[in-house]
Amino acid sequence: MTMTSVPKMTRAKEAKFWETHDATDYLDEMEPVTMTVGPRPQNRCSVCGRVLLSRYVDINLAGGRAQLRQLRQLYCPAGHASCLAPEAQRLADAVEAVLRLTLVSVGAEQRAQVAA
Ligand SMILES: [Zn+2]
């Protein structure tokens, strides 16, 4: 093992550099860091602080005219709270927005036909 100095470079060049160099050759230049790994704060119950668990649920959209199945829901094991997981909420919002547009345009078409 040869101890050498890491050259100053841009992030892009640094990424390329580490593809072809062994970090253990530069251990004397590295500084220890403290990292905390664990559930993100938003994945805890706001009432009791417990980690929210996942389960899969079906939800109705557009007044029950459509259903999304097996969406991930986060829930407190003590029963304080539940909500859709962020990715499931984004999907539900997107589908509901499309349904709203579709239902409005169908309704408008039907009204136009009735008026004609
Ligand atoms: Zn709770």
Would 35 be classed as within a structural domain?
no
User: What is the domain-level CATH number for residue 70?
Assistant: 3.10.20
The pLDDT value given to residue 73: 97
If asked whether residues 14 and 62 sit together in one domain, one would say no
If asked whether residues 66 and 13 sit together in one domain, one would say no
Q: Could you give the C-alpha distances from 13 to 9, 20, 45, 81, in angstroms and in order?
A: 6, 11, 43, 47
Alpha carbon of 40 to ligand 1 centroid (Å): 15
If asked whether residues 21 and 50 sit together in one domain, one would say no
Number of domains in the chain: 2
The pLDDT value given to residue 9: 84
The pLDDT value given to residue 81: 92
Alpha carbon of 12 to ligand 1 centroid (Å): 44
Average pLDDT value for residue range 58-69:
90
Question: Residues 66-94: pLDDT tens digits?
Answer: 899 999 999 999 999 999 999 999 999 99
Alpha carbon of 110 to ligand 1 centroid (Å): 48
Would 68 be classed as within a structural domain?
yes
Q: From CA 52, how far away is CA 93, in angstroms rounded?
A: 22
Residues 6+ apart with CB under 8 A from 23: 30
Average pLDDT value for residue range 43-67:
92
pTM of the model: 0.53
* Full residue range of the structural domain in which residue 20 is found: 1-29
Would 96 be classed as within a structural domain?
yes
Q: Could you give the C-alpha distances from 59 to 14, 20, 56, 78, in angstroms and in order?
A: 47, 50, 10, 22
Alpha carbon of 79 to ligand 1 centroid (Å): 6
